[in-house]
Amino acid sequence: MTISGSTATELLARLESGESSSVEVTRTFLNAIDRQDETIGAFLFVNSDAALEQARAVDEKRAAGKSVGSLGGLPVAVKDVLCMRDTPTTCGSKILDGFRPPYDSTVVERLRAADAVIIGKTNMDEFAMGSSTENSAYKVTRNPWNTDHTPGGSSGGSAACVAAGMAPLSIGTDTGGSIRQPAAFCGVVGMKPTYGRVSRYGLIAYASSLDQAGPLANDVTGAAALLQAIAGHDARDSTSVNRPVPDYLCGLDQPLEGLKIGIAKEHFVAGLDPEVESTIREALGVYKSLGAEVIDVTLPHSKYAVATYYLIAASEASSNLARYDGVHYGHRAESFTNMVDMYCTTRSEGFGEEVKRRIMLGVFALSEGYSDQYYVKALQVRRLIRQDFDRAFADVDVILAPVAPTPAFKIGELVNDPLAMYLTDIYTISGNLAGIPCLSIPAGFSDAKLPIGMQLYGPAFSEDRLLRAARMFERVAGLSTLSSRLS
């Protein structure tokens, strides 16, 4: 098996046995980027020199018999929404062109501490606003399975680079489905952890009460290992939860006995592609054959999730993105008539259409006379959505659902219809509103040979359960997600 066709676990075994060095592994992936990224466009910045240097350091550490971190020498790609010291961090936006943070995000810090080799920063929808990675100010990312299609978004670069074998692992962020949907579109495993499980310090905010970073990998074990490295309390994030992190890897291969799987009728409604639906039903069959019990649950407020989400996310975003004004960092317009005009011109030049649209929506939803009707109302419905899940999880261990209504759509297909684009997040958004963990795992392929994912929802802090449930399926269904099948 080739290096770039291996899972993270296989690579780690090679590194540990000395069969391959980190430099060798890193170089292989850098070469894969060289070869393919012109076509795929997954990376905004390739960290070649620093990555090789880091790899060399890990190799030396290992050779000297020193203890090596849990990701010892494995390349990891990081979504460009996470700050990395002295390294370009753009969030896919022109307004942060040239920005080099003077600090590392906690996720990056933990990756370094685990001896991961940070291979590059991946493309994304500008400020994580989008579901197709077409909203990047820099480039469009293509789906490695079919380059006419989008990789999904906003973590499209992170999903595509793993699917294309340009990195074995990557970090994405998920505010309304931005890890899970691209993972599904690209046929890789992706997880949005419980809100508060992974520190947001250094994660450039889109919607602070929904944003969460998480792992993407070409198998469940890789995702578990990567989550292990980044999860845990951080005193620099007031919303980070101080609660021990379980060992996600031990017991991962042990099937869950008497697993109760919930199915919500609200997840199988008009607009759901029949191929997606049948894939989910087949997956359910696989679980049944493994002894799982399937129970109907109801999530009556599901149909309000998209509206709730867009109001809350846009409101928070309008505030979070107010800071990009050309004063302290980032882009500043060249010509303007006065200070207010400098602000307005800078922001109008620096932000793309979709970002402006959401800022406008958010400012409107928070404005005097409207905030009760829009913003506060959405917060109330959010609680009802959360309560739906609480009730459902009293009866079941996990809820199985589609990730997206369709397989990857075509590039350009939805760009002019924002509302239709928003509706592609219909199955993922509730997880962010409720703050609960959810995982996307490849479950099949469409006739057009595009991957189809399925989603597992769990109660807060049940990441270990979700990973084990996913692994149960993966072991049996054996859907390899590797890009080697591409070449």
**Catalytic residue annotation:** 79, 154, 178
Q: How far is the CB of 337 from other proteins (least distance, A)?
A: 9
Q: What's the full length of the chain, in residues?
A: 487
Minimum Å gap between C-beta 371 and other proteins is: 7
* Residue 447 main-chain phi, psi, to 5 deg: -60, -30
User: For residue 440, how many C-alpha atoms fall within 13 Å in the half-sphere facing its CB?
Assistant: 32
Q: Strand 438-445 and strand 189-192: pairing?
A: antiparallel
What are the two backbone dihedrals, phi and then psi, of residue 376, each rounded to the nearest 5 degrees? -65, -40
Nearest to 481 by CA among 279, 284, 255, 216: 216
Report how far residue 62's alpha carbon sits from residue 43's, in angstroms, rounded to the nearest whole number.
Answer: 29
Contact residues for 323 (Cβ-Cβ < 8 A; gap 6+)? none
Of the pair 88, 255, the CB lying nearest other proteins is at 88
User: What are φ and ψ of residue 217, in 5° steps?
Assistant: -155, 165
Q: What's the closest the beta carbon of residue 194 comes to other proteins, in angstroms?
A: 8
In angstroms, what is the minimal distance from the CB of 125 to other proteins?
16
Q: Which is nearer to other proteins, 21 or 194 (CB)?
A: 194
Nearer to other proteins, 323 or 410 (CB): 323
Instruction: Enumerate the H helices of 290-369 as residue ranges.
Output: 305-320, 339-350, 353-366
Residue closer to other proteins by CB (options 217, 311) is 311
* CB distance 352 to 93 below 8 Å: yes
- Residue-wise over 354-383: b if at least 16 C-beta within 10 A, else e? bbbebbebbbbbbeeeebeebbebbeebbe
In the bound state with other proteins, the residue whose beta carbon lies nearer, of 54 and 308, is 308
Q: Among residues 125 and 474, whose Cβ is nearest to other proteins?
A: 125
What is the rounded CA–CA span in Å between residue 115 and residue 59?
10
Least distance from C-beta 450 to other proteins, angstroms?
28
CB of 178 to other proteins, least distance (A): 15
Could you tell me if residue 92 is left (phi over 0), alpha (psi between -120 and 50 degrees) or otherwise beta?
left
In the complex, the smallest distance separating the C-beta of residue 203 from other proteins, rounded to whole angstroms, is: 6
Q: Find, among 401, 414, 412, the residue nearest to 454 by Cα.
A: 401
- Judged by DSSP in three states, 398 sits in strand
Angle of helix 8-17 relative to helix 220-230, nearest 10 degrees, comes to: 70
Nearest to other proteins of 250, 327 (CB atom): 327
**Which runs of E-coded beta strand occur in 81-157?**
117-122
